[in-house]
Structure 1
Amino acid sequence: MKEDFLHYLWKFKKFDTLNLKTCNQEEITISNVGQYLELAGPDFFNAQITIGNQKWAGNVEIHIKSSDWYIHHHEKDAGYENVILHVVWNHDAEIYRSNNSEIPVLELKNYVSAEIVNNYQKLLTPKSWIFCEKQIKEIPQFTLINWQERLFFERLERKAKPILDLLELANNDWEAVLFCLLAKNFGLNTNGEIFLKIAQFIPFSVIRKECFEVENLEALLFGSAGLLDVEKEDTYFKNLKFRYYYLLHKYQIEKSCVEPIQFFKHRPDNFPTIRLSQLANLYHKQQNLFSKIIGLNSVEAIYEVFCVSVAPYWQTHYQFDKESPKKKKTLSKSFMDLIVLNTIIPLQFAYAKSQGKEISEDLIAVLNDVEPENNSIIEKFTSFGLKSKNALETQSLLQLKNEYCNKNKCLDCAIGIELLKSN
């Protein structure tokens, strides 16, 4: 038995509320269970309860045992002086306030059906991956769809915070924020943080001014990544290196110092040289990129904006000095889908949030047209009978696994609550 189960029972009144009595045999009538705070202090705030003939307004504290009150030292905490009812599973001790007045106790186990306790124990029986893996496919579609949409927007809220933090660092320049987000996205998991530091190091005003010369953009990106710090005979390399030091002098930028870029374990098309060239070509081809994408509400329109390749040199190279068969190296559809999921949608959400606008339906419409992601988490859910049709559903499942399943928050999850009712 855990306290979160008792919180669930109290919050949703999953017990016999008609014949409630305190341990001192006073009748209890619940008008309002109170607000579940999940913060320091009593568990439920501003409840309204009649005990005997007296109506009370105050807080409710919940424990497994009455004696937990003393174990947690609540008798010494002024924040618990306004507790009007102590709800417990087992009553094993009388509880008093600091003025020696007794706090009424409700022993909940006497009013909860065996069925709901069995359902709870069944739900939380350890499984190989998640608690409900054998039952999740039984969830009604209506419940699942509504929960997935909520999970998706919870995930967007989490992604919006660092975007708004970046906005503050960028002096409210949304174009600069987009550049940073895209750089991180182009770096993928291995080089994402390094690419982000590079983007933050180069003043975006310089990117704006130099976007008409794609080789200047490449020089800034490659130089800031430390890829021009060695000596090579390659003519293109020498050209970029000359441009890099010229631009540092022109704009009075100090030479960057970032961690080494990683090539290891990347397929050649994901080499940082290729991704940085694609990023440079994107900003060469699409000036005022933020203004163009912020209002896009179809995945096809986004694909059109991000249909970019590499500079001619990189069509026959993956690294300096090493020629390879010619390949255009245009951004793939799967990579553009990652941009949509990790940059465009979160940015549009954060921007709308900053403007006080509601664009939920537009975001849902876009992600309904994006292919579902393919990773180990999504594969596991598929094996349990939850096959995703689009990226909205896969994003929600990632949020479900990371923020609920991994943290054993079954009683805060619509799936867990549904299983408690239906089993």
Structure 2
Amino acid sequence: MKIVIVGAGQAAASMAARLRAKGHEGEIVVIGAESAAPYQRPPLSKAYLLGQMGLDRLVLRSPEWWDDQRITLRLGETATAIDPARRVVATDKGQVGYDVLALTTGASARRLPAAMGGELPGVHVIRNLADVDALAPQMQPGRRLIVIGGGYIGLEAAAVARKLDLIVTLIEAAPRILGRVAAPETADMIRALHLAHGVEILEGTGISRISGSDHATGVALTEGRELPADLIVTGIGVLPETTLAQTAGLSLDNGIATDALGRTSDPAIWAAGDCASFPWQDERLRLESVGNAIDMAEAVADNILGADKAYQPKPWFWSDQFDAKLQIAGLGTGHDRIVTRPGNGQHGGSVWYFRGDRLIAVDALNDARAYMIGKRLIEAGRSPDPGAIAAASDLKALLA
């Protein structure tokens, strides 16, 4: 059985490794548009952008590993179409037949429209190696950076820029930063962290356009002001890469729609990672995280080989900003109660999300103990009394 994986990121690497580990002896081919072998994405906006990590440490596996595992990497090759009837993937360099196809195409950064100046030189996104390689030389001390978007990517970019001694202003159109992904209490901790490090944060502030003709020179706000800038980073979210799936006639629903096993509407095609949505708790979920890319890819690999076991996500996330680490377990969507606990330092603490009496998520800033205990409770389906969480002198007692 020849298995072809389109997309050469974390999910592809995890799937290919799992297939071999579970005894698949047939051909495995990984097709990726980038010239680099599968690499970690989270350090791109942090250690790699800071110059603290090179590509040799960024890659997930050595060249020898891919050879030893008899996995063919077709890098610098773009898949352009899928012919499900013939079971063939067309690329810009030829055709690749398959018995089973897996789509791990990931997601791409949202960009501001060209009419708003989103394509001007000097406007950057952070999603892949090429993006960061283009941005890094521009991050020079004393330059004025405007970050558009107060999600994790924008905040991480702002933190790195301040470490490099740029003058940083972050603009968020919503009433507050992290409005889509975290409680106000978590946003308060992150905002205080950034303000303490000299980031100017403008919340509830819209932009009308990016100024400049041949190069971005600033940002015009909807209120009428114009902020000057030497460079701009937009961190306004991502879009799942579904073009191949759509043109092949596969079902889409906030990404490539799969069943609980990871199979698409074509029984010979599977999907995993940022590009895929799957049924979960009476809804359809798509997760953008390293954890999901690994776990779902491994689950899909097992199911390709006949495990027939529904994927059960265990959501976890993290974000490094300045010298602080935010760790998140679970999904806080739909919460109706928040419990907070102070941390040991100036910037730290934990936020516990409840839906009714059920603990559904924990955000922990510089509080690894709260994160680990919360994660264990959520994965075990255990929900302590909210009052006990707030009052506990030792969180470990909640596990008893």
With the length of structure 2 as denominator, give the TM-score of the two structures: 0.21
Answer with 1 or 2: which has the greater Rg: 1
As a proportion of its length, which structure holds more helix? Answer: 1
With the length of structure 1 as denominator, give the TM-score of the two structures: 0.20
As a proportion of its length, which structure holds more strand? Answer: 2
